[in-house]
Amino acid sequence: MQSEEITTKKITDMDKEKFSDLLLFRDYSEVETALKNGFNPNTPLEQDKPAIEWCSYSNDYRMIQILWTYGAKPTTPITAEIIGEFEKGKTYVDYEQQTVNLNDYPDLTEEFSVEKLELCEGNIQLENNLYNITIAVSKFVLDAEIVETAISLNFIPLPKPLTFCIGETINFPINPEEGYIDGSIYLRNCHNPVDVTRLKFLKIENEKLTIEISMKFDFECENIELKNEELIKTIELEIC
């Protein structure tokens, strides 16, 4: 009895790092036990992203379903789409049994470049006086696997509300200098840094912000065998 109480206490008092490890190693049983004993599935983990968002980067539909069952909320268009399918009766098994045709997507394995990534419409939201931007990337093939990922830009400090930034260009320092934007993209099982050096605010129309983003992708930081690159892209963001 005493041993069981100690185990339960450890799970209830589980810290975010331990829970992140369970997600990484896909320990479904322990994750569900932790959730049953009160761990909040919406707890911000690394880079202030909740578990459901991290699991979407690795297409771990089984873990996403477990998290959703215990109250996880969608935080990105991708997770909202997956949860919407769960709500209609789809399960993680249905996702895993889907016939996948690699030929349906561009294969970037041999000649990868961020220039070849198709960036979709993203979103921007204000939280605690800082802005977060998520830009989904269209699916592509890398290392014989279909990749679903996104560029996440967090803790963006702006000197004024969005509407007053139109027509202005704001420069940002690079991590770790104060005032930097905390950016990343998940590729080859790593969260690779994305440094934003400049945001050019072009227009707001129909609740959507159009900006030009200057980014530096640091793939050498995690040694994933891709070259560092820079990219300047005009993106439309839904204002949430």
Amino acid sitting at position 191: H
Least confident span in 35-49, 60-74, 207-221: 35-49
How confident is the model at residue 97, as a pLDDT?
75
Using CB atoms within 10 A of its CB, is residue 72 exposed (0-12), middle (13-18) or buried (19+)? buried
CA distances from 207 to 112, 162, 168, 185, 198 (A): 34, 11, 18, 26, 22
The SS3 assignment for 150 reads: strand
- Number of Cβ within 10 Å of residue 43's Cβ equals 14
**Angstrom distance (rounded) from CA 153 to CA 191:** 12
* Separation of alpha carbons 196 and 198, rounded Å: 6
CA distance linking residue 205 with residue 191, whole number of Å: 32
Q: Residue 169: pLDDT above 50?
A: yes
The predicted pLDDT at position 9 comes to 41
Could you read off the pLDDT of 111-161 as tens digits, one per residue? 999 999 999 999 999 988 999 999 999 999 999 888 989 999 999 999 999
pLDDT at position 2 is: 36
Q: What's the CA gap between 171 and 164, in Å, rounded?
A: 16
Q: What is the pLDDT of residues 49-101, one digit of tens each?
A: 899 999 998 889 999 999 999 999 998 888 999 999 999 999 998 887 766 68
Percent of the chain with pLDDT over 70: 93
Lookup: tokens for 187: 């590729």
Cα–Cα distance between 78 and 60 in angstroms, integer? 12
Chain centroid to CA 153: how far? 9
Whether this model's pTM surpasses 0.75: no
CA gap 217, 219 in Å, rounded: 6
